[in-house]
Amino acid sequence: MKLFDTHAHLDSEPFDEDREGVLERARGAGLVGICVVGCTVPSSQKCCELAAAHPDLLCAAVGIQPNYVSSVEPAAMEAIAALAERPEVVAIGETGLDGYWQDAPMDLQREFFEQHLELAAQLDKPFIVHMRDSGEEILQVLTPRAAGGPLRGIMHSFTGDWELAEAFLAMGLHLSFAGMVTFKKSAELRHVASRVPADRLLIETDSPYLSPEPLRGKRPNEPARVVHTARCIAEARGVSPESLAELTTENAVRLFRR
Ligand SMILES: [Zn+2]
């Protein structure tokens, strides 16, 4: 199987003890690509360094995750813009809006989200969107931008309903599914994943968070486990795991221009 994990926080602390082992197991599981995604300036910097050190397997995304926007240094976006020019950086993010944790005022989150979208457009790189209890607000931000033509980006760890999925698909966006889709109670989300057009479907771990079934609760999650998400979505779509893996890998390679 040829797999691509479009969203992993391999820079984060739970991987400090065994990062090389994590990469080894990923290769063993058939991963040919992993996008390591930054959440702050130091984390984005680390993602770049990791990707530069393992160019055969890793690429990077740089950005300020919405829950961190009120605690970053004043010149944070300048630092992100500088990192974004590096060759290993294939996307801008993660950005987006979080209405659940409320770690940062929504106005400030929106300001940063717009700046990330602007940077992505300038550099002609896709953006990666975090959406939690913020579907309507994100639609409001993206709709005027989509009026100018299809958008290049990923709704990451998508958990919305089909109506929201359709709205993002109509804008040209890709939908990426994480471990949540494998959970027993997620029948509706599996149905959404089964309806996404083949050329817009992506898979991810969002590791170290949320291990897929049958490993739910076993931490940290890691890229090798994306195979379980691939199998689950393949079953929902009535295709073989191999073809689902190949399809989502092709989509990631095309979107990231790897
Ligand atoms: Zn993330």
Q: How far is the CA of 170 from the centre of ligand 1 (A)?
A: 23
Q: How far is the CA of 209 from the centre of ligand 1 (A)?
A: 9
At 29, the pLDDT band (50, 70, 90 cuts) reads very high
Q: How far is the CA of 177 from the centre of ligand 1 (A)?
A: 12
The whole-model pTM stands at 0.97
Q: How far is the CA of 89 from the centre of ligand 1 (A)?
A: 16
What pLDDT is stored for residue 103 in this prediction?
82
Kindly tell me if the per-residue pLDDT of 250 is higher than 90. Answer: yes
Q: How far is the CA of 37 from the centre of ligand 1 (A)?
A: 7
Q: How far is the CA of 195 from the centre of ligand 1 (A)?
A: 24
Kindly tell me if the per-residue pLDDT of 74 is higher than 90. Answer: no
Q: How far is the CA of 95 from the centre of ligand 1 (A)?
A: 9
Residue 118: name the closest of 169, 84, 74 by CA. Answer: 84
CA gap 64, 129 in Å, rounded: 11
Q: How far is the CA of 238 from the centre of ligand 1 (A)?
A: 28
Q: How far is the CA of 179 from the centre of ligand 1 (A)?
A: 12
Kindly tell me if the per-residue pLDDT of 102 is higher than 90. Answer: no
Residues with CB under 5 A from ligand 1 (ion): 94
In this prediction, residues 238-256 reach a mean pLDDT of 98
Q: How far is the CA of 7 from the centre of ligand 1 (A)?
A: 6
Kindly tell me if the per-residue pLDDT of 73 is higher than 90. Answer: no
At 236, the pLDDT band (50, 70, 90 cuts) reads very high
Q: How far is the CA of 203 from the centre of ligand 1 (A)?
A: 13
Crossing angle for the helix pair 241-256 and 226-237, to the nearest 10 degrees: 110
Tokens at 132, concatenated? 């939690």
Q: How far is the CA of 94 from the centre of ligand 1 (A)?
A: 6
CA gap 35, 61 in Å, rounded: 7
pLDDT tens digits, one per residue of 161-220: 999 999 999 999 999 999 999 999 999 999 999 999 999 999 999 999 989 999 998 999
Kindly tell me if the per-residue pLDDT of 84 is higher than 90. Answer: yes
Candidate from 12-16, 98-102, 115-119, 202-206 with smallest mean pLDDT: 98-102
Contact 66, 130 (CB under 8 A): yes
Q: How far is the CA of 145 from the centre of ligand 1 (A)?
A: 23
Q: How far is the CA of 38 from the centre of ligand 1 (A)?
A: 8
pLDDT tens digits, one per residue of 106-162: 999 999 999 999 999 999 999 999 999 999 999 999 999 999 999 999 999 999 999
CA gap 92, 81 in Å, rounded: 9
DSSP H or E stretch at residue 60: strand 58-62
Q: How far is the CA of 36 from the centre of ligand 1 (A)?
A: 9
Domains annotated for the chain, with CATH where assigned, are 3-211+226-256 (3.20.20.140)
CA gap 94, 231 in Å, rounded: 26
What pLDDT is stored for residue 6 in this prediction?
98
At 76, the pLDDT band (50, 70, 90 cuts) reads very high
Q: How far is the CA of 184 from the centre of ligand 1 (A)?
A: 22
pLDDT tens digits, one per residue of 38-53: 999 999 999 999 999 9
What pLDDT is stored for residue 190 in this prediction?
98
Q: How far is the CA of 156 from the centre of ligand 1 (A)?
A: 8
Q: How far is the CA of 28 from the centre of ligand 1 (A)?
A: 23
